[in-house]
């Protein structure tokens, strides 16, 4: 994960100013039924910032649109992003169109957005579906899905354009847990984070938050988790 502190945004918060963040993406950013009424990652991020900086300091606007790709986000920049004059734009799409992602970055910088943060998507996780042919192993990444390639392209684009990237994909694929005092890989744990093969549930969005928290100098656990 390319770690970077959101310096300009955090500096404003530390000085007592208000900040605006816009989240742009698809169904894994927009609030949907997949979280079963729990907070999704933009709301969890807003909660984390609220706990650290207090009320009326962070305006987080969710400009995501289910079932869309980066091209839709590019078309909506004026209406759904730029008019809010955000301090930070957070972007994540599954479709792997890096040319359009590049245009989103360039257009946002030209519009005067001080900071951007890219996110890689979560893996597609195979459910328990014995009838699927060829067979898949429940809890592991769905064979043949191209999310790993998309994640690597987003990481390369971030490096090229000097935009930090929160790499959820590799964080999930390398997810470990402790067993008898040792850290071991548990691929089946991925399914516990999912509502279906593509969409994370509340636990998945909490994992997203934990991976985003270091970019904002926030604890990975919220106050009500202790």
Tell me, yes or no, whether 2 lies in a domain: no
**What pLDDT, on a 0 to 100 scale, did the predictor assign at position 140?**
82
| pLDDT tens series, the chain, 226 aa | 446 899 999 999 999 999 999 999 999 999 999 999 999 999 999 999 999 999 999 999 999 999 999 999 999 999 999 999 999 999 999 998 999 999 999 999 999 999 999 999 999 998 877 777 777 877 788 888 899 999 999 999 999 999 999 999 999 998 765 555 665 566 567 888 999 999 999 999 999 999 999 999 999 999 998 7
- pLDDT tens-digit series, residues 36-50: 999 999 999 999 999
State the CATH number of the domain containing residue 85. Answer: 3.40.50.1110
**What pLDDT, on a 0 to 100 scale, did the predictor assign at position 180?**
59
Q: Where are the beta strands (DSSP E) in the chain?
A: 19-24, 58-62, 88-91, 115-119, 165-166, 176-179, 182-185
Tell me, yes or no, whether 149 lies in a domain: yes
**What pLDDT, on a 0 to 100 scale, did the predictor assign at position 128?**
74
Tell me, yes or no, whether 26 lies in a domain: yes
Query: Residue 167 and residue 171: Cα distance in Å, rounded?
Result: 6
Tell me, yes or no, whether 42 lies in a domain: yes
**What pLDDT, on a 0 to 100 scale, did the predictor assign at position 1?**
41
Q: Closest Cα partner for 14 from 52, 51, 43?
A: 52
**What pLDDT, on a 0 to 100 scale, did the predictor assign at position 158?**
97
Q: Model's pTM, two decimal places?
A: 0.92
**What pLDDT, on a 0 to 100 scale, did the predictor assign at position 138?**
77
| CA angle (82, 208, 202) in 5-degree steps | 105
Residue 123 near residue 171, CB atoms below 8 Å: no
- How many structural domains does the chain have? 1
Residue 49 near residue 58, CB atoms below 8 Å: yes
Beta bridge partners of 178: 183
Domain that holds residue 80: 7-225
Tell me, yes or no, whether 1 lies in a domain: no
**What pLDDT, on a 0 to 100 scale, did the predictor assign at position 186?**
61
Tell me, yes or no, whether 96 lies in a domain: yes
């Amino acid at each position: 994960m390319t770690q970077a502190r959101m310096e300009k945004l955090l500096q404003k918060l530390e000085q007592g100013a208000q900040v605006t963040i816009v989240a742009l993406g698809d169904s894994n950013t927009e609030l949907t039924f997949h979280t079963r009424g729990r907070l999704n990652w933009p709301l969890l991020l807003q909660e984390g910032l609220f706990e650290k900086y207090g009320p009326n300091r962070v305006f987080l606007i969710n400009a995501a649109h289910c079932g869309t790709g980066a091209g839709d986000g590019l078309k909506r920049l004026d209406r759904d992003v730029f008019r809010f004059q955000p301090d930070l734009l957070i972007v994540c799409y599954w479709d792997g169109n890096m040319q359009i992602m590049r245009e989103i970055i360039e257009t946002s910088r030209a519009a005067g957005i001080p900071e951007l943060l890219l996110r890689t998507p979560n893996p597609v996780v195979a459910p328990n579906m014995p009838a699927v042919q060829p067979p898949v192993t429940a809890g592991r990444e769905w064979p043949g899905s191209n999310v790993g390639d998309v994640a690597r392209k987003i990481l390369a684009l971030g490096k090229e354009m000097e935009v930090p990237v929160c790499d959820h994909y590799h964080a999930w694929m390398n997810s470990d847990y402790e067993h008898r005092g040792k850290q071991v890989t548990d691929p089946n744990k991925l399914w516990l984070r999912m509502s279906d093969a593509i969409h994370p549930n509340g636990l998945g969005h909490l994992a997203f938050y934990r991976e985003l928290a270091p970019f904002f100098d926030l604890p990975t656990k919220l106050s009500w988790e202790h």
